[in-house]
């Protein structure tokens, strides 16, 4: 019962139980499964793709994200991390993502070889995967190149109401800290908003953060608050709701603006 309550509280409207009142999620495994998608030429960048709550990693193939990556940035290697809901519920998402996906994706080159270090990966997440990408940047920002959060889930309703009532993220962050929530997921949501409210969010001196969402996304109110904290030019808004068509449109736009090195392909892999 505790986990069922946790699941319902986790997303505050993002999740719903399946018919019959029984809520299920995939069982986490160690290591986290990751599918490596080779670049079409010499690797100049890497990106880790993180799915949403009702998605799995291979949906990025089905929904055309990998086709767009190969066409627009052939020098980028993709890693499809099966960071599904089970890892969130068990509280092991960031550790598994770090140990099984991000660190193996960008090993340091041996000094004797005289080769540069492999490029740090970008984290690209949709919905709950966007939350994971932002939380990873908060905890381990030096290990990644940046974040693209597409329609990210940004916390439970009561937290967002508290932030609004306080007058915004900076005012909320400046208040004396009260009692921390007991649930691990709620604690990390609070921690994330304290990090988001710090000065300089998204600038190159910290961790570059880019945001995209649909105008009619059901989390658009919170996403607009995050947009207000980011530098100009770091947010894209398109028509649509919380679904794959606007997410893919945002993904293509981000790739086309040249955020990832490797748009030209002189040396086939």
Express each pLDDT in 101-127 by its tens digit. 999 876 544 334 555 567 899 999 999
- In DSSP notation, 104-131 reads HHSPPPPGGGTPPPPPPPEEEEETHHHH
CATH code assigned at 77: 3.40.50.1820
The answer to whether 218 touches 13, Cβ cutoff 8 Å, is yes
Decide if 165 is inside a domain: yes
Decide if 264 is inside a domain: no
Q: Which of 8-22, 62-76, 194-208, 254-268 has the highest mean pLDDT?
A: 62-76
Q: What pLDDT score does 197 carry? A: 95
**How many structural domains does the chain have?**
1
Instruction: Name the one residue in this structure whose structure tokens are 């092991």.
Output: 92
Q: 12 or 48: whose pLDDT is higher?
A: 48
Alpha helices in 108-219 (DSSP H): 128-140, 157-166, 169-174, 184-196
| % pLDDT > 90, the chain | 68
In the predicted structure, residue 34 carries a pLDDT above the cut 80: yes
Which of these, 133, 60, 74, lies nearest to 101 by C-alpha position?
A: 133
Decide if 102 is inside a domain: yes
In the predicted structure, residue 132 carries a pLDDT above the cut 50: yes
Decide if 250 is inside a domain: yes
Q: 53: domain range?
A: 2-108+117-256
Decide if 262 is inside a domain: no
Q: Round the average pLDDT of the chain to a whole number and report it.
A: 87
Decide if 268 is inside a domain: no
* CA–CA distance, 15 with 54 (Å, rounded to integer): 8
Decide if 265 is inside a domain: no
Threshold 0.75, pTM exceeds: yes
In the predicted structure, residue 259 carries a pLDDT above the cut 50: yes
């Amino acid at each position: 019962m505790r986990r069922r309550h946790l699941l319902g509280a986790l997303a505050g409207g993002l999740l719903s139980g399946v018919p019959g009142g029984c809520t299920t999620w995939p069982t986490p495994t160690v290591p986290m499964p990751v599918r490596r998608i080779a670049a079409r030429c010499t690797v100049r960048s890497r990106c880790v793709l993180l799915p949403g709550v009702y998605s799995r990693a291979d949906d990025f193939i089905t929904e055309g994200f990998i086709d767009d990556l190969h066409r627009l940035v052939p020098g980028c290697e993709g890693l499809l991390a099966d960071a599904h809901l089970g890892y969130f519920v068990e509280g092991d998402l960031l550790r598994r993502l770090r140990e099984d996906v991000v660190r193996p994706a960008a090993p340091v080159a041996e000094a004797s070889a005289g080769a540069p270090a492999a490029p740090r990966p970008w984290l690209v997440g949709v919905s709950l995967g966007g939350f994971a990408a932002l939380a990873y940047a908060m905890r381990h920002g030096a290990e990644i190149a940046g974040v693209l959060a597409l329609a990210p889930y940004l916390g439970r309703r009561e937290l967002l109401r508290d932030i609004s009532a306080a007058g915004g993220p900076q005012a909320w962050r400046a208040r004396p800290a009260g009692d921390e929530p007991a649930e691990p997921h709620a604690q990390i949501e609070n921690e994330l908003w304290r990090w988001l409210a710090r000065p300089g969010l998204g600038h190159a001196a910290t961790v570059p953060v880019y945001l995209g969402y649909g105008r009619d996304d059901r989390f658009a109110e919170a996403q607009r608050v995050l947009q207000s904290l980011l530098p100009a030019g770091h947010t894209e808004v398109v028509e649509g709701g919380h679904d794959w068509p606007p997410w893919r449109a945002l993904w293509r736009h981000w790739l086309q603006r040249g955020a990832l090195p490797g748009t030209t392909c002189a040396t086939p892999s």
